[in-house]
Structure 1
């Protein structure tokens, strides 16, 4: 959490504008926490749908993508994003805003971590091959059954590139399978300072067997059996998984990307997969989405793919509402907010 200082506006028209779709119970909770505010509920409204006279009174905005210009909302003090990503903070109207911006970081930790474990188990226990043989209408003969010989996760080295809320929950689950964990983390104390859900992740940063820095990236890749891209998309991380990175990995390595498609140079990854520089990949995100039918990824047998669905969960709205209401409570007390975006850092 970062230093937080705020001068509230003395105006009886102080307004919280919510364009997210929340259950009535959460809207009632918001009214209880902030009884001095007018609560405006405009589910899924776009910025153009909000009249100027309403924007003028908005002090707090909880939204996925309805962003006013600074001139439209002169009293805007805090924007809570509905998304865990902070890309919106660096483009469009938000880039010019002086408002505090917070994200829903942590909301995806459980479901995306389970997705990562699913892809690892699918890969190493050969489930991706069972379907192909099922379509053939028979199993391989006795000499071919070695194709199904599984590998165990126990003892393998998992490299979590980006030790945020998702990466920490991946590490927690993987540790229970007996995996060795290494992680890239820039903060010297390795603590998670974002919003914490109970019994999730690694708040104190104690699970990794070893931490490494950006300068040690290639060395860490060389000792990894599984590499999970879990970094935010920033100028520093864009294209970080390139030909050099894939060349540094083991030929038996599995690369998993649940970050953003642009953290990977896809032509380099396709080449590495075709030439067996790495064994395989599990990809949920791509540079172009939806992925074009012409994409070479569709024809690669050593790729497990999904259409950017790892972040989907029926619990999303409740979890993001928990983050917002806790931040609202802290905002009204003048306390530091969780998941504050640092524009200099890029997330």
Structure 2
């Protein structure tokens, strides 16, 4: 008889999800304790847990001597990589599970800016019908087919953005850490992303970031937050962007020097920004960003989807099957890299 694999989930799971996880193998035992507090879980439960599915509830290493694998229920893990548990267990994230929805959000912002939606909404609020000359001067669209889109961070989200852009025909530039390996070896659902690296026109190393930024009409941030990427869009980066360019951030708020961004927007050094993430969340009510007509603000919702449970469950079950078969897991976190 095979040894029991004890899985603990600190995330509430539907009955269907529980049944599907248990159905992976007869020797899988699933315990569900929905909580955000490690203290809500008994010492006995921690001691017997081999696999942990969690949003970020982590025990101290001595509390869980049998823990071998932590599957995070999110893609971003920058808040946890310094936890001592990472020195003794394999940890994986949910990268790729919500790439489709975030890709659609990015596409929405590109089309909104390109078709001058913020200006149109201002005219609507003011009940203003522009004359012909004003239409041609202020409302002329920036069509994607004539645009260059730069994607900073070519992981699962960046690749999905590139895939969704294909029918619109822009020039797509991408920047990633390792340009010698354009293919994607992470988790990806069939028909999504850019597994082989086919959907960009040019790939830039991070060292050539400013060169890429200077060519872009739209810049999309999808990077993870690490010590190297923190503040990567700073005053100097904003200065090399076109005055007509737009910035979209669905990565982490700290990727951008927010004060430098506010200054650039006020000075019209760039045309606008769509921001789903911020240095401080909720965004303080006194932030100048709220009042800027060339800024689209959303409250960290780019990854919300009615398909989220199904997509994350599919990834976890795929990884669980690989774990039971002693195969390499998808989306392993590299503590040295920070993601």
1:102 aligns with 2:92: yes
Aligned residues: 337
Residue 131 (structure 1) aligned to one of 121, 124, 138: 121
Residue 118 (structure 1) aligned to one of 86, 89, 108: 108
Instruction: Check 1:75–1:11 CA distance in 2 against 1; reply closer, same or farther (3 A cut).
Output: farther
* SS of equivalent residue, structure 2 residue 332: coil
User: What's the RMSD between the two structures over aligned residues?
Assistant: 1.6
Residue 274 (structure 1) aligned to one of 241, 261, 266: 266
1:198 aligns with 2:190: yes
Report the Cα distance in structure 1 between the residues aligned to 2:7 and 2:211, rounded to whole angstroms: 49
Residue 52 (structure 2) aligned to one of 36, 39, 61: 61
Report the Cα distance in structure 1 between the residues aligned to 2:4 and 2:157, rounded to whole angstroms: 39
Report the Cα distance in structure 2 between the residues aligned to 1:138 and 1:190, rounded to whole angstroms: 48
Matches within 5 A, 1:11-22: 14-22=5-13
Q: Which residue of structure 1 aligns with residue 167 of structure 2?
A: 176
Q: Which residue of structure 2 aligns with residue 5 of structure 1?
A: none
The CA deviation at 1:19 is 1.7
Residue pair 1:195, 1:339 contacting (<8 A) in 2 also = yes
1:72 aligns with 2:70: no
Could you list the runs of 4 or more consecutive aligned residues of structure 1 that deviate by over 6 angstroms after TM superposition? none
The CA deviation at 1:326 is 0.5
Between stretches 139-148 and 15-24, larger displacement belongs to 139-148
Q: Which residue of structure 1 aligns with residue 38 of structure 2?
A: 47
1:317 aligns with 2:309: yes
Residue pair 1:182, 1:210 contacting (<8 A) in 2 also = yes
Report the Cα distance in structure 2 between the residues aligned to 1:185 and 1:176, rounded to whole angstroms: 23
Q: Which residue of structure 2 aligns with residue 151 of structure 1?
A: 142
Deviations 1:89-143 (A, max 9, x none): 3134544x41100000001211111111101111110111222111112322344
Q: Which residue of structure 2 aligns with residue 4 of structure 1?
A: none
1:232 aligns with 2:214: no
The CA deviation at 1:12 is 5.2
Report the Cα distance in structure 2 between the residues aligned to 1:78 and 1:109, rounded to whole angstroms: 23
Q: Which residue of structure 2 aligns with residue 249 of structure 1?
A: 241
Report the Cα distance in structure 2 between the residues aligned to 1:36 and 1:213, rounded to whole angstroms: 46
Structure 2's unaligned 5+ residue stretches are none
